């Protein structure tokens, strides 16, 4: 499974400045592991010591927050768009 991952500014120093990278995996968890393999250091920015997604990080698959799906076990398929987005103040 190859998915498109949109990378926010604070993480682009791990992706050589790239705004979007390709990652492979059948679930978000696997995608994060694959990101770490190719962009070492990125995982600990997304996940805490226990491996859970950090409090102020939101991950979306095709626009849906993974907390409404199956969190890190949310399945992904070829061509899916994964967004990593910091929390945003109200409006």
Partner 1 sequence: MSAVTGLTCRECGQAYPVAPLHVCETCFGPLEVVYDYASIRRTMTRASIQSRPPSIWRYRELLPVQGEPQIGLYSGFTPLVKADRLAASLGVKELYVKDDSVNHPTFSYKDRVVAVAISKAIEFGFDTVSCASTGNLANSVSAHAARAGLRCFIFIPADLEQGKVVGSAIYGPRTIGIRGTYDDVNRLCSEIADRYGWAFVNINLRPYYTEGAKTYGFEIAEQLGWRLPQHIVVPTAGGTILPKVAKAFEELQRIGLVDGGQSVKIYSAQAAGCAPVIHALHTGADSIAPVKPNTIAKSIAIGNPADGYYVLRAVRDSGGWGEAATDEEIIEGIELLARTEGIFTEPAGGTTVAVTKKLIAQGRIPRHESIVICITGNGYKTIEAVSNTVAPPCLINARLQEFDELYRQLPHVAAVATREHTG
Give the nearest distance from C-beta 35 to partner 1 in angstroms.
15
Q: Where are the alpha helices (DSSP H) in the chain?
A: 28-38, 43-46
Closest CA to 46 of 37, 38, 58: 58
Query: Quick one: 26 or 72, whose CB is closer to partner 1?
Result: 72
Interface residues toward partner 1, by CB under 8 A: 6, 8-10, 13, 19, 45, 54-58, 60, 63, 65, 67-68, 83, 85-91
Within 10 angstroms of residue 61's Cβ, the number of other Cβ atoms is 21
- Least Å distance between CB 72 and partner 1? 14
């Amino acid at each position: 499974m190859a998915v498109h991952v949109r990378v926010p500014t604070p993480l682009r120093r791990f992706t050589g400045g790239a705004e979007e990278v390709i990652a492979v995996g059948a679930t978000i968890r696997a995608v994060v592991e694959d990101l770490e393999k190719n962009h070492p250091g990125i995982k600990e920015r997304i996940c805490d010591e226990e491996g859970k997604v950090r409090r102020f990080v939101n991950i979306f698959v095709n626009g849906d927050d993974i907390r409404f799906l199956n969190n890190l076990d949310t399945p992904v398929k070829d061509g899916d768009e994964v967004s990593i987005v910091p929390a945003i103040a109200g409006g």
